[in-house]
Amino acid sequence: MAKKLSAGSIASLIGAAALIFASIKFPWWGMKFYAPQYMEGLDIIVYPSKLAGDIDIVNGLNHYIGMAPFSNESFPELQYLPGLIMGLAAIIIIVALVRKKSLLYVPPALLIVGGALGIYDMNRWLTKFGTELDPKAPIELEPFVPPIIGENILANFVTHSYFTTGSFLLGAGFLLTLLPFWLERRK
């Protein structure tokens, strides 16, 4: 007979699914730009389904260095990422309801693979936008790759890249998918 999950493990998985689902409504990543003329900073805020912040101003400034403008349409991932997240949350709930210990590896594995693909994709876009600069731009700069996390200095701009609320919810959800391994260790 297959071993069944305890109530604590089921609650942990349902909590993980709830946090992951809730992350859709919050920004996952951001970048803040500071310069003498923008002391309050300019923001790019990335939600799973859209970009927000001072996109038009940043695009106007990026024009001077030959960077392609970006918008929601620039990132096809924004069209399907919320559906993937809802699907992941549904899979976690199914694992909780089926209650088979053998399925406990599925949620964290999916989150690890999804997270790795997400980081790869972010780096791919940052590399594309920072290295494919128009050579006819008014200001000539060496190609660059902004960091996913941390500070970068470009001309008179200092940028800070960071994960935010939605990413923290994903991380907490991931930890809740690991908790059943500890809860079930004695059974």
- Residue 33 domain flag: yes
Answer whether 178's CB lies under 8 Å from 109's CB: no
Q: Report the pLDDT value the prediction gives residue 23, as an integer from 0 to 100.
A: 98
Task: Quick: pLDDT tens for 93-109.
Answer: 999 999 999 999 999 99
The continuous run of DSSP H or E covering 178 comes out as: helix 165-183
In the predicted structure, residue 14 carries a pLDDT above the cut 90: yes
Answer whether 36's CB lies under 8 Å from 156's CB: yes
Three-class SS of residue 155?
coil
Which range is least confidently modeled, 12-21, 157-166, 178-187?
178-187
Q: Tell me the C-alpha to C-alpha distance, in Å, between residue 148 and each of 120, 123, 151, 159, 163.
A: 10, 7, 9, 11, 8
What is the Cα 117 distance to its own chain's centre?
10
- Alpha carbon distance 103, 94 (integer Å): 10
- Residue 41 domain flag: yes
- Residue 94 domain flag: yes
Answer whether 57's CB lies under 8 Å from 180's CB: no
Q: Please give the share of the chain, as a percent, with pLDDT higher than 70.
A: 98
Task: Quick: pLDDT tens for 19-75.
Answer: 999 999 999 999 999 999 999 999 999 999 999 999 999 999 999 999 999 999 999
Q: Report the pLDDT value the prediction gives residue 185, as an integer from 0 to 100.
A: 83
Answer whether 46's CB lies under 8 Å from 185's CB: no
Number of domains within the chain: 1
- Residue 64 domain flag: yes
- Alpha carbon distance 92, 8 (integer Å): 14
Scanning the structure block, which residue is given the tokens 């089921």?
Answer: 10
The residue ranges of DSSP E strands in the chain, in sequence order, are: 29-35, 38-46, 51-53, 150-154, 157-163
Q: Residues with Cβ < 8 Å from 16, sequence gap 6 or more? A: 92, 107, 173, 174, 176, 177
Where in the sequence is the domain holding 16, given as residue range(s)?
A: 7-183
- Residue 2 domain flag: no
Work out the mean pLDDT of the chain and round it to a whole number: 94
- Residue 88 domain flag: yes
In the predicted structure, residue 187 carries a pLDDT above the cut 70: no
Q: Report the pLDDT value the prediction gives residue 156, as an integer from 0 to 100.
A: 87
pLDDT tier at 2 (50, 70, 90 boundaries)? low
- Residue 38 domain flag: yes
- Alpha carbon distance 64, 61 (integer Å): 6
- Residue 75 domain flag: yes
Q: Report the pLDDT value the prediction gives residue 154, as an integer from 0 to 100.
A: 86
- Alpha carbon distance 161, 37 (integer Å): 19
> Comparing C-alpha atoms, which of 173, 127, 123 is closest to residue 15?
173
In the predicted structure, residue 80 carries a pLDDT above the cut 60: yes
Query: Model's pTM, two decimal places?
Result: 0.90
Q: Report the pLDDT value the prediction gives residue 106, as an integer from 0 to 100.
A: 97
